[in-house]
Amino acid sequence: MNYSAKQEVAHLRKSELLVADMKRKRLEFGGARGRGFRE
């Protein structure tokens, strides 16, 4: 029980980091696009 609870916390933390990373990348790309940056 305790082990799976720790796993769940680790998973939640991992997905939170993933979401934060995606948001940051989206902001960076959006900002670049807003400045007329071409890939």
2-38 pLDDT per residue, tens: 778 899 999 999 999 999 998 888 887 766 655 655 5
Q: Where do we find the tokens 């990373």?
A: 21
> Structurally, how many domains does the chain consist of?
1
> Could you tell me the two tokens for 25?
């990348």
Domain that holds residue 18: 1-39
pTM: 0.51
CA distance 39 to 26: 15
Provide the pLDDT for residue 1.
58
Q: Where do we find the tokens 């799976």?
A: 4
CA distance 31 to 28: 5
